[in-house]
Copies of this chain bind each other. A is one copy, B any other.
């Protein structure tokens, strides 16, 4: 951590963190829109229905996600704090990844060893979200549907974990005393209140709605299914934003104060 940073530097860093979060939005939305072109396809998420010979304990999505994550672990993806795998016990990196400790977007350095892992909650929220995002039923395109689930889950995970850890680190440093007191008291509600910024949340929801509209504006409804922006805004409001806030609190509660 650069101990020379003053409050103004942390405010600037927070702005950069928020900018990066904003830059992930379009990617998240566009992956949802792609997934929505396929039916809900429940069987792709049910154990023993993957079509894989001899594999009964996992769904098609489970099998594919594990294979991708093994490959990415070897590539060194999970050496970055905001990249949290859904599977654990992955192989170590086979590749030397040269990256400093400071975040490439904001210059912030996280507290050593303090990592948030909301991957289980993210996974289950996403699967539930598919009920709202997709037309029910089965179109037998399980390969294509899960092909979009994987990057969508990853983009979500990056959005939430990056947000949680880097936002919390900045906000902590903007008022270390005030935060430390709440952390020592393990006051989750107090921390939530301190961290929450309703006006920023409203701005995010407004921006997400606009993007979801704009991104489908020139779309031909005979060619592609058009998704109501409400569905995506609701997922941001009910899952993405609250999970990020939960992660911020988690990160702070593990801080050495």
Interface residues of A (CB under 8 A from B): 19-20, 22-23, 26-27, 30, 34, 37, 50-53, 60, 63-64, 67-68, 71, 74-77, 94-99, 104, 140-141, 143, 151, 207, 210-211, 214-215, 217-220, 222-224
Q: Inside 8 A of A214's CB, which chain B residues have their CB?
A: 214-215, 217-218
Q: Inside 8 A of A104's CB, which chain B residues have their CB?
A: 141
- Of the candidates B67, B143, B224, the one whose C-beta lies within 8 Å of that of A76 is B143
Residue of B nearest to A146 (CB): B75
| Distance of A217 Cα from B217 Cα, bound (Å) | 12
- Of the candidates B75, B140, B219, the one whose C-beta lies within 8 Å of that of A98 is B140
CB–CB B19/A223 < 8 A: yes
CB–CB B218/A96 < 8 A: no
How many monomers of this chain does the complex have? Answer: 2
A247, chain B: closest CB distance, angstroms = 22
A97, chain B: closest CB distance, angstroms = 7
| Distance of A94 Cα from B51 Cα, bound (Å) | 8
CB–CB B51/A95 < 8 A: yes
- Of the candidates B30, B71, B77, the one whose C-beta lies within 8 Å of that of A30 is B30
CB–CB B22/A223 < 8 A: yes
